[in-house]
Amino acid sequence: EKGTYPHFMLKEIDEQPFVMRRIIQEYQDDQDNIKLDEDVRQAVADCDRIYIIAAGTSYHAGLIGKEFLEKIAQVPTEVHIASEFSYNMPLLSEKPLFVFISQSGETADLRSVLVEVNKLGHKALTITNVQGSTLSRESHYTLLLHAGPEIAVASTKAYTAQMAVLAILAVDTAQAKGLTLDFDPMKELGIVANAIEALCDQNEKLEQVAKDYLSTTRNCFFIGRGLDYHVGLEGALKLKEISYIQAEGFAGGELKHGTIALIEEGTPVIALATQEHVNSSIRSNVSEVVTRGANACIISLEGLEREGDEIILPSVHTLLAPLVSVVPMQLISYYAALHRDCDVDKPRNLAKSVTVE
């Protein structure tokens, strides 16, 4: 039920700190160690490469998951769009592990890959919000998101939950391999929960951004580098699916190779700047688009801000910044859709669970 919320989407955005804390509880044992099915641990330890298969928002979580698995656990990882995989199946490694990421666990495009994977005799792990879902039943292993039912068509809390579970899986794998880590994942996810809570309390400011930048525009661009680029892709998807604004996410360094031609007087550009090592470069990209007339809104992380009018996110571990930086984008999309009189929870032409190929 929506309770006092006008829309499920807003309720689900607000639930994210709670979901983070539930994930911490579910994946932690009494000694504060990561609690994971021994079979899952073994399957990751035994593989030489992970192939993530997903669609839509879950695909975007997969892009972040790849960074976690490679940077934290040193496991080579590829991410594939499910509907493309059957035609573009890469040359598989000797011991592949397939990881299906799906909120619903019912997406047909993923299922057809899973059927193929099962025929080939490879191992499959499904990360899903729905226990007993088709993908969960038909794969060898399952990790649950514990996000609670997600009703709004636009996925929000499932995306942050997917990233949190992938981070835990990466840390567990690193620990099993004996790699040294300089952070405690559960403590860091707790910090993320608090940061999301602080942001959800600032939604008036984000509503104003939606009004100032998006109330009449035809298009909007999201730019970022590294993790911020991937989060920008998700920000763009959120905005287009519920507000029908043509939105695209671009890698900051790619602008000059073509897309900067799209910038006109007043084009809204939302720039993400949460990663210290690319802070200067993304800010140069912001200057490039502003010089050509863009109306830029910068979302940065505490300590990385440079201008007074930025949206500054509370400081969190740099790798976990996507879990926090997506929240202003969810809220901006929500308010943009609201101000443009769109049906926030049930956008046109879309279904919550896509059970056709």
How many residues in the shown chain lie near ligand M6R by CB under 6 A? 15
Per rule CB under 6 A, is residue 58 in the interface with ligand M6R?
Answer: yes
Among 153, 209, 220, 296, binds ligand M6R (CB under 6 A): 153
- Judged by beta carbon, residue 96 or residue 105, the one nearer ligand M6R is 105
Residue 81 identity (one-letter amino acid): I
Distance CA(46)–CA(173), nearest Å, equals 11
Catalytic residue among 2, 240, 346, 352: 352
Handedness of CA 200, 103, 236, 271 (dihedral sign): positive
Among 16, 77, 83, 107, binds ligand M6R (CB under 6 A): 107
Per rule CB under 6 A, is residue 104 in the interface with ligand M6R?
Answer: yes
3-state secondary structure 45-88: HHCCEEEEEECHHHHHHHHHHHHHHHHCCCCCEEEEEHHHHCCC
Among 72, 75, 147, 154, binds ligand M6R (CB under 6 A): 154
β-bridge pairing 49-54 and 96-102? parallel
Per rule CB under 6 A, is residue 143 in the interface with ligand M6R?
Answer: no
According to DSSP, residue 28 is labeled B
Per rule CB under 6 A, is residue 232 in the interface with ligand M6R?
Answer: no
- Judged by beta carbon, residue 16 or residue 107, the one nearer ligand M6R is 107
Tokens of 255: 């602008």
Per rule CB under 6 A, is residue 330 in the interface with ligand M6R?
Answer: no
Per rule CB under 6 A, is residue 235 in the interface with ligand M6R?
Answer: no
Tokens of 159: 């995306």
Residue indicated by tokens 């514990």: 146
Catalogue the active-site residues. Answer: 352
Per CB under 6 A, residues contacting ligand M6R are 55-58, 102-104, 107, 153-155, 241, 350, 353-354
